[in-house]
Structure 1
């Protein structure tokens, strides 16, 4: 007896392994045909992509379908023991999403008048779009469609009437929904801003670019690779699900101390909260007054030392400054009780350690972002204690002290969301991946959905981009301090109220800060808006210099002169508002770094030889380890 393959076993019975092979082969072939059939009709008529497939192509499609099925089955089995914890985690995140989606539900989309107006405008749009296509062809007679958006800049969105209609209709609806949010009545200013943000989140997520069957680029790629792009994309997605974080760049492309954070230096001091790095001088003489940099305690310090071409640290060393940098430790269970006071004490300790090490009376300081906020409090405390002369100057990179106009991050701070953050915190600290997701959401189109398309739908290889590597290198935060920061500063704006807050037993009054200050803001900063940074000038009693830099929170700061990018604005008058500053400002092309260097040099021009403890790790100078140190590697 033979089976349909013609094979029998020794007893004359069919070879069941061969039968199973044929059954699965048929099944996978059917899946492959179904997969191909899903995408083929969406391709332009008459192209090779929709021609009759040969058996080899169908087999390729079948293998793609089989790989996808196997990956998801394997991942489901792998996660079976973690199902309930995963549901709990995603349930908490779902509450966050539900908060915003419930606000989006306040839009008057269900009103008959609104629907009639949308219908009328939609019909006019369709008539306009279709009118640009010559009957019987797929070429627009006019190059311009009514609405433009860089997500749909590729010509494939414009060549076919169907995809032109899809993305133009989406843009119309997004525009109208955003207008409804802007015009919503009966809401407080805070609630209205949350509604605007929720609407943008919703419309960004629903872009036709984010779905394989409405994105012509994905469809074409799928047909070309016979589904291999979706297989590779599923691999990327599953790996991201495993690590709980969206991947932006090749995780193996960079290594601390090898091709990022490579400026030579030594760790010369450490505490349970930070390591202090001193960098090796590259000039025969250095300024007598050293520079101490406080990077954000919510990020890794090497944003200022990405590579030799972009490194602010390396550049500052080359200007003849003795540079020290604090490397904050990523929080763990041992840091559950760390609060505001501990970070301020750490900044004071670092200032004192540098002064004692080099036998100098004062240091220049830099505070970046949230570390700048903390630096302002530190300066106020030193002034209250009669120790203001320990600091020769303070530079603030995109730092806020007045949070009345703090931008879109305020949309994540209300009682419900603060309670949700408590639930997400475990062992006394907040997982840095949650903070990363929050910052990504502020630029969802660029930092989330763009990568959903590239990584998951197109299955592209990850780029090797140092800035994105840093962006994904998250740090954990002590829960107590994080919550207090959000409540006391972002929500209640208490830092600008004299003596409303204290640290280490000393009340904080920013009006006591009299040291010279250099304040940098980014014109397009979405994390620390320029107008919010400007308000620091309203709380100082000493001299200050404000510079408005082109670009945003990162590129506005990390802009080496050699790059020749962007610009900055200065106004020598005494403007009362940012608007007045801008109206009377002079624009200069390129980086603002040289302007800052001249300002620093003018404050303390004295120089000394680069010897002794100016060179870390020299004779008789004990150090702990080479830069960038252990703390920046802790996870």
Structure 2
């Protein structure tokens, strides 16, 4: 037999030693579990029924359609059986010493679940891996091939089928993960005890609901390790604090820059550590940078609407920037939901014949929600009714529920990898600024969130003339005449780039579309020094995104310099730098302010 298949690190454990280890673990863990159950008997989570997912009807429909075509089902079963036979024959040849046997099926290049060498070097674990991949792909292929389903039902079934397939991966289970088996034997089961302790701590942190720790939260503190770019809070109201950052250049461009982050998460995604802070970099480019820091709302702000976020958020911030700098106009960035608000505000201002915005930049922003990607599987009438009922009781949507939704879009990376690391291997999560931010979730006011989900995601009214009304004004995105740059990311699961491209056909002014590599966060937080991810530009905006990409030029590295050059042409001449402590507006407190420090 080839020596590679006899790797001692990946061989099966001795049955006697394994039994003794598991017995010791069971005895030592009994008290841990018992103590936890006593503490959790009155947990709020036990009183809170889960939201209905309206899945049963979708799966009944697909099962009915599949069974209506028995010939196709029989062929599918035969294909799977044939695949298993080929896999068994391949494994048998390897057991007999053949070393050049090629895998029947392999994981995707970016699939990190099977990176341990034993998954390939050990015949048994290689068989388990390939058997899983063969079955998983067979299940998903047959679900996708089912005919007659409407688009929404097909997408929902496909999404939750993938959730099931990902959950059943052999890497997620003790007895079928070679790395976990090895760790259990080498530590005498301490990894499982540590994992149980981690699990209990995460359950307690979530009041009985599992809230997986993704990073060492004690390693970071907002204002100490992250969100540390110097500045001052120069304005605040019930919804926002406005930060003005301290200049680092002697001269700055005359027209200031205002950033509107999404209030689904906190603003400091754009101000993590110094090396990847977009804020610090923009200040260094000679811009006077202002940032909105949204409040983390509680039940007292339940009635705050999308309209309030425009009036007390964007418009109040623009007034404050004008008062602080004396400039009648500002260049504005809107990120994700902040970009959706920016577009709505610009249409509102056009009707009001006001022009405080000089140019607009949109980061990963959708205004046409016709193809809203996988998030659409969470938005149907039954789920919205259940969500609104829950928000009526509390006044808001709890932040961790939104976080769970987004994590499900990348379950292997953001759920199952931590299950293996924290609970099976018993390791503490690695300190990582981006994952700390991801876990620092925010709440959504009931009125605003219901409006956003229904009027935009479900009914797609924002892109329609007069589809929505804000403060008595019918919104029409075609009235937007300011120069616009749209930055989207090629692997975005939250705001698919082909959906964001629709804005190029809606806005009435000069519009430049830029496509960056990577996803919703990593594609935006991509400093030039990282030398990662290309970006694409095209001087024209043809009717479809595919046509745009076909004619686009590729540029290596970050899109940040491309944006900066574009904005500097629209930022006016250089003037003396503006010290936030010496402006007309009094300093309230140092950046990052207290709003961002409120945790859900």
Q: What TM-score comes out, normalization by structure 2 length?
A: 0.92
Deviates more, 1:189-198 or 1:147-156: 147-156
Aligned to 1:72: 33
Aligned to 1:514: 481
Query: 1:46 offset after TM fit, Å?
Result: 11
Tell me how large the CA RMSD over aligned residues is.
2.5
Among 601, 613, 617, which residue is 2:581 paired with? 617
Equivalent positions of 1:427-466 (< 5 A) are: 427-466=394-433
Asked if 1 retains the 8 angstrom alpha-carbon contact of 2:324 and 2:585, the reply is no
Render the CA deviation track for 1:525-573: whole Å, top value 9, x for unaligned.
0100001110011111110111000111011111101111111001113
Deviates more, 1:362-371 or 1:102-111: 102-111
* Structure 1 residues 109 and 494: CA distance shift in structure 2, 3 A: same
Asked if 1 retains the 8 angstrom alpha-carbon contact of 2:542 and 2:548, the reply is yes
* Structure 1 residues 51 and 577: CA distance shift in structure 2, 3 A: closer
Among 194, 199, 206, which residue is 2:168 paired with? 206
CA distance in 1, matches of 2:462, 2:15: 68
Query: 1:483 offset after TM fit, Å?
Result: 1.2
Render the CA deviation track for 1:480-531: whole Å, top value 9, x for unaligned.
1111101100010000111121111211111110000010010110100001
Larger Rg: 1
Among 567, 574, 588, which residue is 1:600 paired with? 567
Higher relative contact order (CA 8 A, sep 6+): 2
Question: Does structure 1 residue 362 correspond to structure 2 residue 333?
Answer: no
* Structure 1 residues 469 and 487: CA distance shift in structure 2, 3 A: same
Asked if 1 retains the 8 angstrom alpha-carbon contact of 2:10 and 2:182, the reply is no
* Structure 1 residues 617 and 146: CA distance shift in structure 2, 3 A: same
SS at match of 2:543: coil
Query: 1:241 offset after TM fit, Å?
Result: 1.3
Aligned to 1:163: 125
Query: 1:192 offset after TM fit, Å?
Result: 1.3
Equivalent positions of 1:114-193 (< 5 A) are: 114=73, 117-132=76-91, 134=93, 140-142=99-101, 144-149=103-108, 150=111, 151-193=113-155
Asked if 2 retains the 8 angstrom alpha-carbon contact of 1:260 and 1:466, the reply is yes
Q: What TM-score comes out, normalization by structure 1 length?
A: 0.87
* Structure 1 residues 220 and 103: CA distance shift in structure 2, 3 A: farther
Equivalent positions of 1:510-589 (< 5 A) are: 510-589=477-556
Render the CA deviation track for 1:148-182: whole Å, top value 9, x for unaligned.
24222322122333322222222122112211221
Which consecutive residues of structure 1, in runs of 5 or more, have no partner in the other structure? Answer: 1-42
CA distance in 1, matches of 2:308, 2:485: 25
CA distance in 1, matches of 2:169, 2:222: 37
Query: 1:339 offset after TM fit, Å?
Result: 0.5
Asked if 1 retains the 8 angstrom alpha-carbon contact of 2:270 and 2:278, the reply is yes
SS at match of 1:434: helix
* Structure 1 residues 444 and 353: CA distance shift in structure 2, 3 A: same
Query: 1:422 offset after TM fit, Å?
Result: 2.2
Among 221, 228, 234, which residue is 2:183 paired with? 221
Equivalent positions of 1:50-449 (< 5 A) are: 50=14, 53=17, 58=20, 63-82=24-43, 85-89=44-48, 91-93=49-51, 95=53, 108=66, 113=71, 114=73, 117-132=76-91, 134=93, 140-142=99-101, 144-149=103-108, 150=111, 151-244=113-206, 245-345=211-311, 346-388=313-355, 390-425=356-391, 426-449=393-416
Deviates more, 1:484-493 or 1:601-610: 601-610
* Structure 1 residues 214 and 529: CA distance shift in structure 2, 3 A: same
Among 590, 596, 599, which residue is 1:632 paired with? 596
* Structure 1 residues 283 and 270: CA distance shift in structure 2, 3 A: same
CA distance in 1, matches of 2:134, 2:238: 54
Asked if 2 retains the 8 angstrom alpha-carbon contact of 1:569 and 1:585, the reply is yes
CA distance in 2, matches of 1:257, 1:549: 29
Query: 1:352 offset after TM fit, Å?
Result: 1.1
* Structure 1 residues 224 and 325: CA distance shift in structure 2, 3 A: same
Asked if 2 retains the 8 angstrom alpha-carbon contact of 1:126 and 1:165, the reply is no
Render the CA deviation track for 1:287-307: whole Å, top value 9, x for unaligned.
010000000010000000011
SS at match of 1:422: helix
Asked if 2 retains the 8 angstrom alpha-carbon contact of 1:129 and 1:145, the reply is no
Count of equivalent residues: 584
Which consecutive residues of structure 2, in runs of 5 or more, have no partner in the other structure? Answer: 1-6
